[in-house]
Structure 1
Amino acid sequence: MKNYTNQGVTISRYLIFVLISFISCKTQKEIESEQEHRPNILFAIADDQSFPYASAYGTSGIKTPSFDKVAKDGVLFTNAFVAAPQCSPSRAAILTGKNIWQIEEAGTHGSYFPKKHPVFTDLLAGVGYKTGFTGKPWGPGNWKDAGWLQNPVGQEFNEKMMSSVPANGMALKDYYGNFVDFFRQKEKGQPFFFWYGGHEPHRAYEEGSGVKAGKILEESAVPAFLPDHELIRSDVADYVLEIEWFDAHLGKMIQFLEEQGELENTIIVVTADNGMPFPSAKANLQEYGTHVPLAICWPSKMKGNRVVEDLVALIDMAPTFLELAKVVKVPEMTGKSLSKLLIPVPDVQPKKHREFVLTGRERHTHARPDNLGYPARAIRTQDYLYVRNFKPHLWPAGDPVPFTQKTQATTQGFKPLWPGFHDVDDSPSKLFLMEQQSEYPRHYNLAYDKRPSEQLYDIRKDPGCVNNVAQEPEYEEIRMDLKTKLEIELKRQGDPRVLGYGNIFDSYPRMSIMRQFDGFNERGEYNLDYIQEGQVKIE
């Protein structure tokens, strides 16, 4: 009996071993099969590019053949919006699939990125993707002291450099060469996610580089909020030249994927993190601060030559990527997958993707005393943009600084105060408006003057957002409807600005160099006064 039992135990153990081995082997094969069928993802994100600055949109004075190819092979979106008109909060929102008021310090510019907020890149890595980036990832800000082992975007590939670039101010990083390095380091058959973060068209530009490269000033597309002046046209031409440089590297990446036999199974997304670095655009919730280009293709799965006018948000990218990559365990996100827009169900009329998109901003740079930001939220429908400015007594572009400050020395370690209005990137266009205020008072006021608590724009008639109709009687019903919808949605999403403790945003540290404004100006430190106010729910 004893020998028989031992033999039975031995046989049972053998069967269990065989069964486990079979299951393990099958699981491994399934994993390999899933990896082979999971799509690669190339995410190309320009730094400071507004809609409609791509030739696929019919804009004059610009040629973007790579963007246009992606649009032709897939879908061209005409109404895509970032969560914030600033680099780091916009990028954090893309990574988390949440709006800026839902991600604490990561929702303001140049602060921390709390590790507790999951990012889609980690979730992709968790199912076998190789992730990496070249150029600009999440930033500016501090991720190391927030608990991350690497930038939230993935592994850095920035070693390859170029010997020269078309104009001063362009990054010397060889984006294409770094992508090739990344690709060659991944295992055969392993799916990848690669973040091509061009530094272009972020300022500074080489003045006159556009004309020098053959740009015709008469073809420069000048938005309505800027004067149609030769200097502005030249500045726009310099900006366009940098977009074309970004596009050129993308073209090389697409060609490389085709040569490697990977293009058919690669989702390519081309977009930007916020609007153009001009007055009234970047760092503003008006149209040219948040409305960005977007084209998406997936040659093996998507039909091409389609234009989608539905409202979409870049926070929709995270759930889209995770769904198409067959990631099962996905944390709660505010974004909505674009899969049904990208791959429509046959014979089924797709529903409208969104009724509206929400955007917001907090502090941009150190532009005011006490390191305060300019809190604002907006709701954008197909036809209207409604903006709520929470502190209209503040200067929206940062405090003005007297010309007498220009030659005054600053304490070591601080940026200079002059020319003021620091939420607008320094540029020829910025100084032109400041110096020509009397000649172009309306353009000056749009960029620099204080704003009312409510702004409403009829986008069909006024895409440049130069006519605030919030107080006009015929728009009263629309204003009230959008105001109500915005407040309800912000409360639902837990925005501190409408829950009574919005000043918590002004407690968050700024990691970049500060200026000598009065009040709190400690780099990298929390403003404890505003943390206390946040705890007691100050209005």
Structure 2
Amino acid sequence: MKKIRTLGFLILGVSFLFSCTEETPKRPNILFIMADDHAYQAISAYDNTLIETPNIDRIANDGMLFTNACVTNSICAPSRAVILTGKHSHLNGKIDNNFPFDTTQMTFPQLLQANGYQTAMFGKLHFGNNPKGFDEFKILPGQGRYYNPEFITKKEGKKTITGYVTDLITDMTINWLKTEREEDKPFFMAYLHKAPHREWLPAERHYTDFTKRTFKEPETLFDDYSGRGSAAHEAEMNLLKHMNWAGDSKIYPDVMDQLGIPETAGWDKGAFAREVGAMNEEQRAAWDAVYGPMNEQFIKDYPTMSQQDKMKWRYQRYMQDYLGSIASVDEGVGKVLDYLEESGLAENTIVIYTSDQGFYLGEHGWFDKRFIYNESFKTPLLVKWPGVIKAGSRNTQMVQNLDFAQTILAAAGVEAPADMQGENLIPLFRGETENFRDAVYYHYYEYPAVHMVKRHYGIVTEDFKLVHFYYDVDEWELYDRKNDPKELRNVYNDPEYAEVVKKLKADLSDLRIKYKDSEELDQHFIDKYKEKGLISRGGE
């Protein structure tokens, strides 16, 4: 009898042990997908006016769509540095595309790797050739090329791979998941697209379709910036005046010469040579078959085109190539999501889709980014996490790319360093929205430089946006985000908003202190900029 009781207790103990083991949650895999300059207006989960992105939309359909996600500094390399470190630009050192990244900074992939995650990065990093914290990487040098790009690899040195960059990055990602993933470890995968960054070359399969499309013009395409300060008036981002004819609009250099069209910038024809010139004979023949006739028609039309006609033509050319580039990104995302589902990985994988910043798609007559204004400042953010995020959820709160490091570390069960400045978004994933921040801080530095967007910092809430432009001016702007969503009227000096200005100025001062920014740091970076001779209007 005693032996039977002992055996019974033993069985109960083993059963309890197994039940505990089964209930212990596995640490989630994390797939971080980021495109470059992908405007939220060009994702159909946000707005299907311009394009359908059914695969990116799957993430929102199965998870959460953030409608007020934004960046701390709307420019490529600084945004990526903020994401990796969880710190504002003035602390991680990467204030613009010229200043060096402080490589002593701890990044969240290093912490994941140190805590048992297998890590990989494929695609565009944009700064640094040896990213820390990755077991495997293949990254583009700098901006990289659309066709037959060179990759910097961890194990094979530099190598040029024939093909289209978006497809190559997707294939690398799936191949790693299939053949190099260690099944006994959770993984962090950074799947980073070059597209749709300038100069917007679609894959061959999308040439014909997109070059035949006509897209709806934004209401503010011919904005005259009345009611706003000098910053909007002086920015050099106008589609007609500042976009390159060869590099951007794909007018052949010899056609420019034939029509007497001067280069818009010093790298205009050079960008065309770099991108289109990288194609092999077969690829170039396919390109010329579509873009050659377009150039021939342009030769006929150009002499009689008005300035308004040219602006409209350039908008359509821009959208055709920009959106055509996104079509391949969406297809690639679909292939990776399909593999996660087919392999059974999807159930325990967090999928994040975002961009390094927003982008102007002709709004206010502009392309590019840099401003705190909505199209530049806001960025797509779609997240799915089975069992945690309710399918089809939406969130309107002020979240930033500053928050990604904190959130990913929390999801992985890794303690974040005390000097990270972001917020953990997991409570928002669960629908717990109480006591979350009500305002975010923004600071842009790269001026005077390409596009001539003045230095500025500001505070943004769901209702208002207060901005201070400085360096060569001292101007303030206030926008009522609910009543003026296109940000056409600066109400800073409107007496009806006097109390709003007073409160937001105090809150902005508090945020500057909280995030350890100051007038002294502003001047420090201006002085360093001058010392390094970076006051320049050249480059991209």
What band does the TM-score fall into relative to the shorter chain?
Answer: 0.5 to 0.7
Q: CA deviation at 1:298?
A: 1.1
Q: Could you say which residue in structure 2 is the equivalent of 1:171?
A: 165
Aligned length: 411
Percent identity for Structure 1 against Structure 2? 27
- 1:21-420 matched pairs, under 5 angstroms: 37-104=26-93, 106-137=94-125, 139=126, 141=127, 143=128, 150=131, 155-157=136-138, 171=165, 174-183=168-177, 184-206=179-201, 212-214=208-210, 219-220=215-216, 222=218, 224=220, 229-276=312-359, 279=366, 281-328=368-415, 330-344=417-431, 350-351=433-434, 353-363=436-446, 366-367=449-450, 374-393=454-473
The residue matched to 2:501 in structure 1 has which SS? helix
Q: Could you say which residue in structure 2 is the equivalent of 1:433?
A: none
Query: Is the Cα–Cα contact under 8 Å of residues 201 and 321 in structure 2 kept in the other structure?
Result: yes
Distance change >3 Å, CA 74–CA 214, structure 1 → 2? same
Distance change >3 Å, CA 206–CA 500, structure 1 → 2? closer
How far does the alpha carbon of each residue in 1:426-453 deviate from its partner, in whole angstroms, 9 at most, with x for none?
xxxxxxxxxxxxxxxxxxxxxxxxxx61
Q: 1:211 & 1:469 partners in 2: Cα distance?
A: 44
Q: Write the letter of the residue equivalent to 1:288.
A: E
Q: 1:98 & 1:466 partners in 2: Cα distance?
A: 31
Q: Which moved more, 1:214-223 or 1:84-93?
A: 214-223
Q: 1:385 & 1:163 partners in 2: Cα distance?
A: 40
Q: Write the letter of the residue equivalent to 1:325.
A: A
Q: CA deviation at 1:261?
A: 1.1
Q: 2:385 & 2:445 partners in 1: Cα distance?
A: 35
Query: C-alpha root-mean-square deviation of aligned residues, in Å?
Result: 3.7
Q: Could you say which residue in structure 1 is the equivalent of 2:524?
A: 503
Q: CA deviation at 1:219?
A: 4.0
Q: 2:486 & 2:433 partners in 1: Cα distance?
A: 30
How far does the alpha carbon of each residue in 1:383-415 deviate from its partner, in whole angstroms, 9 at most, with x for none?
11111112244xxxxxxxxxxxxxxxxxxxxxx
Distance change >3 Å, CA 264–CA 231, structure 1 → 2? same
Q: 1:321 & 1:485 partners in 2: Cα distance?
A: 28
Q: Could you say which residue in structure 1 is the equivalent of 2:502?
A: 480
In the alignment, structure 1 segments of 5+ residues that lack a partner are 1-28, 394-451, 524-539
How far does the alpha carbon of each residue in 1:57-93 deviate from its partner, in whole angstroms, 9 at most, with x for none?
2331211111110001010111100111100111111
Distance change >3 Å, CA 504–CA 373, structure 1 → 2? farther
Query: Is the Cα–Cα contact under 8 Å of residues 457 and 467 in structure 2 kept in the other structure?
Result: yes
Q: Write the letter of the residue equivalent to 2:381.
A: L
The residue matched to 1:388 in structure 2 has which SS? strand
Q: Is residue 2:485 matched to residue 1:453?
A: no
Q: TM-score, normalised by structure 1?
A: 0.68
Distance change >3 Å, CA 162–CA 49, structure 1 → 2? closer
The residue matched to 2:457 in structure 1 has which SS? strand
Q: 2:116 & 2:106 partners in 1: Cα distance?
A: 17
The residue matched to 2:380 in structure 1 has which SS? strand
Query: Is the Cα–Cα contact under 8 Å of residues 86 and 420 in structure 2 kept in the other structure?
Result: yes
Query: Is the Cα–Cα contact under 8 Å of residues 148 and 164 in structure 2 kept in the other structure?
Result: no
Q: 1:281 & 1:162 partners in 2: Cα distance?
A: 18
Distance change >3 Å, CA 201–CA 328, structure 1 → 2? same
Q: Write the letter of the residue equivalent to 1:475.
A: Y
The residue matched to 1:56 in structure 2 has which SS? coil
Q: 2:217 & 2:382 partners in 1: Cα distance?
A: 21
Query: Is the Cα–Cα contact under 8 Å of residues 158 and 173 in structure 1 kept in the other structure?
Result: no
How far does the alpha carbon of each residue in 1:240-271 deviate from its partner, in whole angstroms, 9 at most, with x for none?
22222212111111111112110111100001
Q: 1:491 & 1:297 partners in 2: Cα distance?
A: 34
Q: TM-score, normalised by structure 2?
A: 0.68
Query: Is the Cα–Cα contact under 8 Å of residues 120 and 134 in structure 2 kept in the other structure?
Result: yes
Q: 2:377 & 2:146 partners in 1: Cα distance?
A: 31
Q: Write the letter of the residue equivalent to 1:40.
A: N
Query: Is the Cα–Cα contact under 8 Å of residues 93 and 107 in structure 1 kept in the other structure?
Result: no
Q: Write the letter of the residue equivalent to 1:272.
A: S
Q: Write the letter of the residue equivalent to 1:37.
A: K
Select the structure with the greater relative contact order (CA < 8 A; seq sep ≥ 6): 2
Distance change >3 Å, CA 343–CA 501, structure 1 → 2? closer
Query: Is the Cα–Cα contact under 8 Å of residues 464 and 481 in structure 2 kept in the other structure?
Result: yes
Q: CA deviation at 1:461?
A: 2.9
- 1:430-469 matched pairs, under 5 angstroms: 453-469=475-491
Q: Could you say which residue in structure 1 is the equivalent of 2:513?
A: 491
Q: Write the letter of the residue equivalent to 1:289.
A: S
Q: Write the letter of the residue equivalent to 2:104.
A: K
